[in-house]
Amino acid sequence: MQALDAIVQNYNYAITVFLMVSGLYIVIASGNMIKKIVGLSLFQTSVYLLYISAGKILGGTAPIIDRNYTIYSNPLPHVLILTAIVVGIATVALGLAIVARIHEEYGTIEEDEIFKETGL
Amino acid sequence: MELYINMALLTMLAAVTVAIIVQRDLFSVVILSGIYSFLMASVLIVLDAVDVAMTEASVGAGISTVVLIGTLYLTGQKRELNYHRSIAVPLFVSLGTGAMLIWGTWGLPAFGIQDAPVHTHIAPTFLLESIPETGVPNVVTTVLADYRSFDTFGETTVIFTAGLGVMLLLGGSRRKKKKGETKS
């Protein structure tokens, strides 16, 4: 029972770490630049999960004031992550624009082909 | 109950992530990342972050997928090419990072308890003062637009800069191509 409790307590943190590590792995291991950007956005999204998990109170409700409820989850992480989501799409869009530009210049979005072409 | 819904959705999230790692067809990767964002939005609703869930569903699953498909169209590449890359270094780096992060989570308070340090610092002030000071019942809106509005102003600056960068990168190259055509 105690082991089950420990799993339930730490499940959010474990999944956050798994998503973050997977994003990091895709960014390093994949040679395709579009897949790299998807990996980057996985990495960013795992941070949202970490923050929102910290703000959750079990048995609480969304932080919209109503006289029928007394326990609310923490609104501050929500605000920070709203900002982070918008900055995340900005970085993804800029990264993809650079990928499109690289494709125009080299005719490929594979890292290995560009390295072969430029002799690096 | 909400704990188990949360755990089920998180397990599905992890499964989609594994699918993204092994999938080599780029269109599938893009669609899987859209599914990932919708699952993330569902998790956020379970965790009481309704405003964040709405933003994640529209921005993460909507705009981001459109931008990715647009790039697929511009580059015209269908599959990730199979090069013989060594997976030893990325595996070592990511597993090392993962071990350190797991070590870091040992010091965190248990999930969902009411007296964690996050909930006792400034959040009660926001929850109590929101109605008397601003008259807005949604506390997330109050903090975003009143207490931390300079933060939001900075965010709009970031978006503006990124938009400017995208326009310069894509618009500038089109001009160059036209010049090349007139030369030949």
Using CB atoms and an 8 Å cut-off, which of residues 79-118 of chain B contact chain A?
A: 80-81, 83, 85, 87, 89-91, 93-95, 97-98, 101-102, 105, 108, 110-114, 116, 118
The answer to whether residue B125 neighbours chain A at the CB level (below 8 Å) is no
Q: With bands split at pLDDT 50, 70 and 90, how would you rate the model's confidence at B182?
A: very low
* pLDDT value of residue B173: 54
φ/ψ bin of A107: left (φ > 0), alpha (ψ from -120 to 50), beta (otherwise): left
pLDDT tens-digit readout, A33-92? 999 999 999 999 999 999 999 989 988 889 998 888 888 999 999 999 999 999 999 999
Comparing B43 with B81, which gets the higher pLDDT? B43
Q: How far is the CA of B23 from the CAs of A25, A32, B16, B28, B31, in angstroms? A: 14, 12, 10, 7, 11
pLDDT tens-digit readout, B37-48? 999 999 999 999
Instruction: In whole angstroms, give the CA distance from residue B32 to residue A37.
Output: 13
Closest Cβ opposite residue B68 in set A8, A21, A96 = A96
* pLDDT value of residue B134: 87
Instruction: In whole angstroms, give the CA distance from residue B68 to residue A34.
Output: 8
Q: Once rounded to an integer, what is the mean pLDDT over residues A93-111?
A: 90
Q: What angle do CA A85, A87, A88 make, to 5 degrees?
A: 60
Q: Reply yes or no on whether the pLDDT at A4 is more than 90.
A: no
A2-118 has which fold? Helix Hairpins (1.10.287)
Which sequence spans correspond to the domains of chain A?
A: 2-118
* pLDDT value of residue B172: 64
Segment (H or E) for B5: helix B2-22
Q: Reply yes or no on whether the pLDDT at B59 is more than 70.
A: yes
Comparing B123 with A1, which gets the higher pLDDT? B123
Q: Reply yes or no on whether the pLDDT at A109 is more than 50.
A: yes
